[in-house]
């Protein structure tokens, strides 16, 4: 046999061997892939459809109570009623458009926070909504007690709250002939009710006078009242005539002492408390003896 025929014969044998081993290798790979697919949790069903994972939706049962009870109408397209299973009701007035589920959820959270005030009895609220991030609402309580004090009589305009990424309050009270205003961030129900109570006791401290002199005078009165508060009693206002008497003596002599004042009061037959004189000297005159 010639060299050429020998080389040709060797090449044919090599190709046959290579083909046999290649087919076995492909069969092994195919069987491995099938086995892995059958064992995998992501295996496609026999129908050939690719499975799609369902999105996980977190349940929020605390806010499921707020539902739209009276939807908007053609005549009142920006107004609807919402309520809860336990009888809470609110009228929602939208700046534009219909109330969305997102808006309802945020408004519901804010209403729930305000409704949690201790000693509060209220069934009705009005919400004025710009959008899901800005709205205000008013609660109209029939009762709001702080200890033995009924605060409703000081709240002719109800309780006003606003929401802008956080909850705030802005409440105007009517205390005798004064109209104090309590504002701030809503931190806790107890802090909020306590602030309302303080405004009924020392309304001067919560007055927002346009005139700076009036504002300072009111703050002075408030400080005088707070300084004379005993542990078990409410703050009381020092007699205005006594304050003016001491002021006049001080204006005539900047070096007066408490002894000078008490001697003059005794001479003029004016009744006084030494604690009141101490408070006037410290708060109004800035004199410490």
Task: Examine residue 241 and state whether it is found in any structural domain, yes or no.
Answer: yes
196 and 83 in a common domain: yes
- Write the DSSP symbol of residue 143: E
Rounded Cα–Cα distance for residues 237 and 201 (Å): 10
Rounded Cα–Cα distance for residues 94 and 78 (Å): 5
131 and 41 in a common domain: no
Rounded Cα–Cα distance for residues 191 and 137 (Å): 19
Task: Examine residue 79 and state whether it is found in any structural domain, yes or no.
Answer: yes
Query: Based on the structure, what is the number of domains in the chain?
Result: 3
111 and 42 in a common domain: no
85 and 197 in a common domain: yes
178 and 67 in a common domain: yes
Q: Whole-number mean pLDDT of the chain?
A: 75
Rounded Cα–Cα distance for residues 125 and 247 (Å): 49
DSSP bridge pairs for 143: 121
Task: Examine residue 206 and state whether it is found in any structural domain, yes or no.
Answer: no
Q: Which run of H or E residues covers position 144? A: strand 143-146
195 and 129 in a common domain: yes
DSSP bridge pairs for 125: 90, 139
Rounded Cα–Cα distance for residues 34 and 265 (Å): 108
Task: Examine residue 56 and state whether it is found in any structural domain, yes or no.
Answer: no
pLDDT for 109-168, tens place per residue?
A: 999 999 999 899 998 899 998 876 889 999 999 999 998 899 999 999 899 999 988 999
pLDDT at 167: 93
66 and 195 in a common domain: yes
Q: Dump strand ranges (E) for 74-123.
A: 79-83, 89-94, 120-121
pLDDT band at 228 (very low <50, low <70, confident <90, very high): low
- Domain region containing 113: 62-201
Task: Examine residue 223 and state whether it is found in any structural domain, yes or no.
Answer: yes
pLDDT for 164-188, tens place per residue?
A: 889 999 999 999 888 888 999 998 9
Task: Examine residue 57 and state whether it is found in any structural domain, yes or no.
Answer: no
Residue tagged 């003029």 (tokens): 268
What tokens were used for 217?
A: 């005078």
Task: Map residue 256 onto helix, strand or coil.
Answer: coil
What tokens were used for 255?
A: 């070096």
243 and 182 in a common domain: no
pLDDT for 64-119, tens place per residue?
A: 678 999 898 877 778 899 998 888 899 999 887 788 888 898 999 999 999 999 89
Task: Examine residue 207 and state whether it is found in any structural domain, yes or no.
Answer: no
DSSP bridge pairs for 101: none
């Amino acid at each position: 046999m010639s060299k050429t025929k020998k080389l040709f014969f060797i090449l044919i044998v090599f190709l046959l061997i290579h083909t046999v081993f290649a087919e076995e290798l492909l069969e092994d790979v195919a069987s491995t892939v099938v086995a892995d697919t059958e064992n995998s949790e992501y295996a496609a069903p026999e129908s050939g459809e690719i499975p799609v994972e369902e999105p996980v939706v977190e349940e929020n049962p605390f806010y499921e109570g707020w539902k739209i009870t009276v939807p908007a109408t053609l005549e009142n397209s920006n107004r609807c009623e919402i309520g809860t299973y336990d009888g809470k009701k609110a009228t929602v007035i939208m700046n534009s458009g219909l109330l969305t589920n997102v808006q309802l959820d945020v408004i519901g959270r804010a209403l729930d926070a305000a409704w949690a005030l201790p000693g509060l009895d209220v069934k009705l609220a009005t919400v004025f909504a710009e959008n899901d991030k800005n709205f205000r609402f008013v609660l109209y309580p029939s009762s709001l007690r702080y200890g033995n004090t009924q605060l409703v009589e000081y709240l002719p305009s109800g309780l006003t709250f606003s929401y802008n990424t956080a909850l705030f309050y802005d409440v105007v009270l009517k205390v005798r002939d004064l109209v104090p205003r309590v504002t701030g961030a809503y931190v806790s129900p107890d802090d909020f009710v306590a602030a309302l109570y303080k405004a009924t006791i020392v309304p001067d401290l919560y007055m927002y006078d346009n005139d700076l002199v009036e504002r300072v005078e009111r703050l002075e009165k408030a400080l005088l009242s707070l300084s004379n508060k005993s542990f078990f009693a409410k703050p009381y206002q020092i007699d205005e005539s006594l304050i003016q008497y001491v002021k006049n003596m001080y204006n005539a002599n900047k070096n007066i002492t408490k002894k000078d004042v008490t001697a003059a009061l005794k001479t003029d037959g004016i009744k006084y408390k030494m604690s009141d004189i101490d408070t006037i000297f410290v708060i109004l005159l800035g004199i410490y003896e």
